[in-house]
Structure 1
Amino acid sequence: MAEKVRYYLEQTVPELQDLQKKGIFNKQEIAAIMKRRTDFEHRIGSRGVKPADFLRYVEYEMNLDSLRRKRIQRMNLKGRSSVSDWAGKRRILFVFDRGTKRFPSEISLWTEYVEYAKQADAVNVLTKIFTTVLRLHPTNASLWIMAAQHEFEVNANVRAARSIMQRGLRFASHSARLWVEYAKLELNYLAKVLARRQILGIDDADKTTDEAAERLRDDDELASDSIKLPTSTAEEVRDDLRALPDVDISVLGSLDTNPALNGAVVEAVMDAAAKAVPGRELAVKLLELVDSFPFLACQQRLVDHVADALYAADPALQANVLVYVKAPTRAVLPSVAAFPAALQTSLRRFWAAVDGRDDAKAIADDYAAGLGQFLAFPSLDPALEKAIKATQVKIARRFP
């Protein structure tokens, strides 16, 4: 082990000499750095090494590199770059690489490795990391999501991101979170396409606005959902995945003539998800996801799609009934011209749904309370306000 430690330390000599030559660190500080690195090398080379030892080593190297940059800035050092300018980043990546090889099953170590490679803008290293870790942990949904996000957000390669998601779902089709993130990827891409079309003047009447770009930057990753075992067979899931798109959405046509621009791809993902992960929890997550894209013209269509599927799956469940009857107004603001018609559709569904149910009063109370939220909307049309209040009174009399 001593020979290996000596070998690794000798690799750092040119860097330390360069730091001393530039005056960034003095002789005593260089000696202290060498001592700390010697201690870390002996620790990670021992039989009792733990993943935390590699992380502590990395933390020390990060702090050292940060101190180096601060001193360069304070000393206003300029000129051609030298070995010490890039040696710190390379050394941190090297320690991570050794740690993941020693503990290939330690997900936290891989995650930290990925995050630092992103921060260091080490694109080629990231590609190698994802290739290796996904081969070692093919059922880990978080890793597939990280890889797809890198392709979509950094490399702007939606085809590669979509391919990664679909490959991940072949290994982890039971993961509700992975399905939600795949739907989110398609919604984000659709928003980008529609935003470009509007900039080009293709869709003057499109709902997409500048808010789309802002939301795409600020949108946080959804919290992970609980996982349920699928009831569909693996072959059925594979068939559903083969039917999903593997090419970019065409920007040609219009919302009426091009189904992809009107949410058809997202609907296909939702349908495949419902087969792979049966149950209500995934559908609720998908509804929450669609709620976060109010600038898409197809939002109401997607809401209706999920709500209809929920109600058809279990019409006896009170929660499903409430989602179904409220769906027509879920994505329609009271200020738009389409709201009165949407409210009428919702009311028709409500009266039909509560007919003959034992839990009709509970559904009615919840629905009436939901109508009250529209009354708090600023600048509500007086006639609409009057109609909503009259409906609340009617419901209260019918279900005292």
Structure 2
Amino acid sequence: MRFLLLLCFLIGLSPLRAQQADSIQFSLLTCAPGQEIYELFGHTAIRYQNFTRNEDYVFNYGMFSFRTPNFVYRFVKGETDYQLGITPYIYFQAEYAMRGSSVYQQVLNLTEAEKQKLYDLLRENYLPQNRIYRYNYFYDNCTTRARDQIEKAVAGTVVYPEQVPASSFREIVHHYTDGFPWDEFGIDLCLGAEADAPIGIRQQMFAPFYMKEFASQAYIVSADGSRRPLVASETKIVDVEPEPVESSFPLSPFACASLFLALNVCIAWLQYRNRRIYWGWDIVLYGIQGIAGCVIAFLFFFSVHPTVDSNWMLMLFNPVPLIYLPIMIYRAIRRKKDLYHGVNLVYLTIFIVLFPLCGQKFNLTVLPLALSLLVNAASHVLVSRKRTE
């Protein structure tokens, strides 16, 4: 009986011993950005290689599906769920090579015990009850998840460089949206003043290439005080030329907004000359303003996305014009005086003057848009005065 118990114990230990005896390597993978909006910031994953068993897999915390029910609504509200996936490296490599994104590998300088612990952590994360997580693009994403698992596996403390350039979430976002002006404009409209606050090195690691740079300078301090680099070596394992950036629209947002301002000036002049308000144009102008305001108001009051609840753009784009639009049109058709435009004229003037002082950096495209609304409000006031002369 004792012999059978001992035999079962040894058989149970054999997989663990085989695992420990295997030649294992873990690497941090950083993938270059693509052209889709969800690819602009690049990507991070963890590569597991078992040379003894000829296993080569990628643990990827960036898996999601557009087919998820109510995906767009959940994404806007900040309730998007991502999950950890395991992909054979050959497929992972082929995907990024076809997309035109290079992949950089940083081999982690881990002990055998740390490799075993990291392997166990990743396998535990992959359990059905653990693999899905609530994605947060600044605080809990594919990069921060990979970093956290590596830090948990280390027998000691990972120390990152202390002196790093001051930055903010918006500045890092702009670094990656350079060359994609429409994407940058859309993101800027959604991010609030919190995105312009200075952030430390740990918060900057939400961006894959920032994490790559900091990891290359980091070191591990063991319990006995000894130090070793976190990264043993770095190589470029997928070396491809990125596809040329194709602009989605020939004109930039600022150019379009400037043309829109010029159009408003022309319409305002015609209204003043003819002593007539073109209420059809009010439907277009205030309808667009109100719809944009509904989106920003929803983000401000209901979304759990970070930084959107401190967005001063709500002062310019809000649902009020859309709600008041029927009354505005009725008064314009009946040629009745409407105090809304006088109040709006003063309000917009104050907004344009004081907005740069609110602590939030705004996209320059906002200025001609605000001036367009200002010109329209001024034309209403001038036409009303001219009729009473």
**TM bracket, shorter-chain basis:** under 0.3
Q: Normalising by structure 2, report the TM-score.
A: 0.26
- In terms of fraction of residues, the more strand-rich structure is 2
Between 1 and 2, higher relative CO (CA 8 Å, sep ≥ 6) is seen in 2
